[in-house]
């Protein structure tokens, strides 16, 4: 038996980045749902399981109804059952949508926060139970597992479905623990809420999995996205694997510029590295059409001072093709080093700003950078936080490391980037004056 699990589609929401001049429609969440339906029909799936937040918000009823209706009807005509639960985003709209969907094999489970079972049969004999629970309101502060009391059927595999926050004590989004899920008589738990795929499998415990969102919605959701294909045997053994389905992907790419000494070499190295990345990504995901890159430039190069302007100058217009996939560069971080011996400069015994700065840069790479560097990092963290809280930026995507809590790493990275440029400038000025 084969089950295709997806969740957090958020029909009605747009990815934070849409390629300029490209076909934005193919990167929509509705198009992601269409790819799920097409795969299920082509692969002969028995059940499509949707783990909540299928619709983005209540005001997306009109936008979501058409794509959902077409998908559910197509699945029903192919003899494929669809089981779905509501999450915190669609707790009110999805039950309304479900009541109007015309697919004969569509089953909305767990309305009003009450556990409900759908049983798949073959010649009148049960071959699969699907137990589901749906969000009754936007926030649920207690675990829904405490009210799970559906009868155990040891002879039939059982899947538990809910939208929940795993091992997140104090969460407002149905917090559950791995321990309590492990005590329930199910073969596997199919969860929604987390947009990154996750599978937990322990001996003598049910498999716990998040399928992740089928289409990346922002830079925070990097890497491969798709749905989870679950093969289930008659004894309840679960074999899951991710099926890439996204058309748009956000990736971090390191580009080593060691020894690069000219603008032509820089452009060639950048394009070659990104194309190699695209070829590999395309081999993993046939549906992929666009990669949004966050590029980190590394290595020692005499172009260090010019790299920021070179990268920014080409970033907005650069589109790199490889087969059916195109890459654009959203952000560039210059983490290169000047083509200079920083250790020799720091240990030269001089009493000039360049010697002092070289010493600080070496200290920033140490596990214990010392008091001076720590004070610089703390000041940088405060500055980043002040800028981030500025009213002018409140409407922007809150995906920076300053917001996510990793402000220390961001501060050190920025200090090193600016420090390297300053050191190269100081040394170049000294050389020009000689």
> Model confidence at 404, in pLDDT bands (50, 70, 90)?
very low
**CA pair distance 211, 195, nearest whole angstrom:** 8
Considering the chain, what percentage of its residues have pLDDT values greater than 70? 92
Question: How do residues 268-314 score in pLDDT, each as one tens digit?
Answer: 999 999 999 999 999 999 999 999 999 999 998 988 888 888 888 77
Looking at per-residue confidence, does 39 or 417 come out higher?
39
Handedness of CA 350, 351, 357, 360 (dihedral sign): positive
Considering the chain, what percentage of its residues have pLDDT values greater than 90? 58
Residue 317 pLDDT: 79
Question: How do residues 66-117 score in pLDDT, each as one tens digit?
Answer: 999 999 999 999 999 999 999 999 999 999 998 988 778 999 999 999 999 9
Residue 37 pLDDT: 98
Looking at per-residue confidence, does 41 or 400 come out higher?
41
Q: Which residues pair with 180 in a beta bridge?
A: none
**CA pair distance 294, 17, nearest whole angstrom:** 12
Alpha helices in 321-352 (DSSP H): 342-346
CA distances 325 to 96, 213, 214, 268, 270, Å, are 38, 20, 18, 18, 16
Interior angle at CA 410, CA 409 and CA 415, nearest 5: 100
Q: Which of the four CATH numbers 3.40.50.300, 3.40.50.2300, 2.30.30.30, 3.60.21.10 does domain 2-244 have?
A: 3.60.21.10
The residues near 370 (Cβ < 8 Å, ≥ 6 apart) are 363
Residue 58 pLDDT: 64
pTM: 0.80
The residues near 281 (Cβ < 8 Å, ≥ 6 apart) are 224, 249, 251, 288, 291, 325
The closest of 203, 306, 204 to 261, measured between CA atoms, is: 306
Using DSSP's 3-state secondary structure scheme, residue 186 falls into coil
Residue 270 pLDDT: 94
Question: How do residues 167-215 score in pLDDT, each as one tens digit?
Answer: 999 999 999 999 999 999 999 999 999 999 999 998 889 999 999 999 9
> In the chain, what are the domain boundaries?
2-244, 247-339, 341-434
The residues near 343 (Cβ < 8 Å, ≥ 6 apart) are 358, 362
**CA pair distance 31, 122, nearest whole angstrom:** 32
Does residue 365 surpass a pLDDT of 90? no
Does residue 369 surpass a pLDDT of 60? yes
Using DSSP's 3-state secondary structure scheme, residue 132 falls into strand
Residue 406 pLDDT: 55
Residue pointed to by tokens 């703390």: 378
**CA pair distance 396, 72, nearest whole angstrom:** 35
Residue 330 pLDDT: 87
Residue 140 pLDDT: 97
Does residue 218 surpass a pLDDT of 80? yes
CA distances 394 to 123, 274, 386, Å, are 58, 32, 12
Residue 62 pLDDT: 82
Strands, E assignment, 155-289: 158-163, 165-166, 175-176, 188-192, 198-200, 207-210, 226-232, 238-244, 248-256
- Identify the helix (H) or strand (E) that includes residue 404: helix 401-404
Please state, rounded to an integer, the average pLDDT across all residues of the chain.
88
> Model confidence at 22, in pLDDT bands (50, 70, 90)?
low
> Model confidence at 388, in pLDDT bands (50, 70, 90)?
low
> Model confidence at 400, in pLDDT bands (50, 70, 90)?
very low
Handedness of CA 167, 170, 172, 176 (dihedral sign): positive
Which of 201-215, 235-249, 418-432 has the lowest average pLDDT?
Answer: 418-432
Most confident stretch, 54-58, 222-226, 337-341: 222-226
The residues near 242 (Cβ < 8 Å, ≥ 6 apart) are 197, 211, 212, 224, 226, 227, 228, 229
Burial of 283 (0-12, 13-18, 19+ CB in 10 A): exposed
Instruction: Order across the sheet with 125-133: list the strands.
Output: 116-122, 125-133, 158-163, 188-192, 207-210, 198-200
Using DSSP's 3-state secondary structure scheme, residue 26 falls into helix
Burial of 419 (0-12, 13-18, 19+ CB in 10 A): middle
Residue 7 pLDDT: 96
CA distances 29 to 16, 53, 55, 396, Å, are 12, 12, 9, 21
Task: List the structure tokens of 268.
Answer: 């060639």
The closest of 233, 224, 222, 241 to 281, measured between CA atoms, is: 224
Does residue 223 surpass a pLDDT of 60? yes
Contact yes or no for 307/301 (Cβ under 8 A): yes
């Amino acid at each position: 038996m084969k089950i295709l699990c997806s969740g957090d589609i958020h029909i009605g929401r747009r990815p934070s980045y849409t390629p300029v001049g490209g076909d934005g429609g193919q990167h929509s969440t509705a198009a992601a749902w269409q790819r799920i339906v097409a795969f299920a029909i082509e692969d002969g799936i028995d059940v499509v399981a949707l783990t909540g937040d299928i619709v983005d918000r209540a005001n997306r009823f009109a936008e979501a109804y058409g794509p959902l209706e077409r998908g559910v009807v197509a699945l029903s005509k192919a003899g494929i059952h669809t089981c779905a639960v509501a999450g915190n985003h669609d707790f009110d709209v999805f039950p309304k949508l479900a009541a109007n969907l015309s697919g004969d094999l569509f089953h909305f489970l767990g309305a009003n926060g009450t556990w409900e079972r759908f049983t798949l049969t073959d010649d009148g004999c049960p071959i699969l139970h699907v137990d589901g629970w749906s969000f009754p309101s936007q926030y649920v502060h207690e675990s829904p597992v405490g009210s799970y009391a559906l009868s155990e059927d040891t002879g039939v595999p059982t899947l538990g479905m809910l939208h929940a926050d795993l091992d997140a004590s104090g969460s407002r989004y149905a917090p559950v623990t791995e321990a309590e899920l492990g005590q329930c008589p199910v073969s596997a738990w199919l969860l929604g809420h987390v947009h990154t795929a996750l599978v937990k499998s322990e001996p003598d415990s049910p498999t716990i999995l998040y399928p992740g969102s089928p289409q990346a919605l922002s830079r925070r959701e990097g890497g491969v996205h798709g749905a989870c294909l679950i093969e289930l045997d008659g004894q309840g053994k679960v074999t899951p694997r991710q099926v890439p389905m996204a058309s748009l992907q956000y990736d971090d790419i390191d580009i080593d510029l060691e020894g690069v000494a000219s603008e032509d070499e820089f452009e060639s190295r950048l394009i070659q590295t990104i194309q190699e990345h695209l070829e590999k990504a395309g081999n993993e995901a046939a549906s992929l059409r666009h990669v949004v890159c966050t590029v980190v430039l590394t290595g020692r190069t005499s172009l260090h001072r010019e790299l920021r302007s070179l990268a920014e100058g080409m970033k907005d217009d650069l589109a790199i093709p490889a087969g059916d996939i195109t890459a654009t560069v959203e952000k560039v971080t210059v983490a290169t080093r000047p083509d200079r011996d920083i250790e020799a400069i720091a240990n030269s015994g001089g009493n000039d700003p360049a010697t002092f700065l070289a010493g600080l840069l070496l200290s920033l790479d140490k596990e214990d950078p010392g008091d001076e560097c720590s004070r610089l990092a703390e000041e940088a963290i405060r500055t980043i936080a002040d800028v981030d809280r500025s009213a002018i930026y409140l409407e922007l995507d809150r995906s920076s490391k300053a917001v996510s809590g990793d402000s220390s790493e961001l501060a050190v990275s920025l200090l090193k980037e600016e420090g390297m440029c300053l050191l190269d400038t100081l040394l170049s000025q000294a050389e020009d004056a000689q």
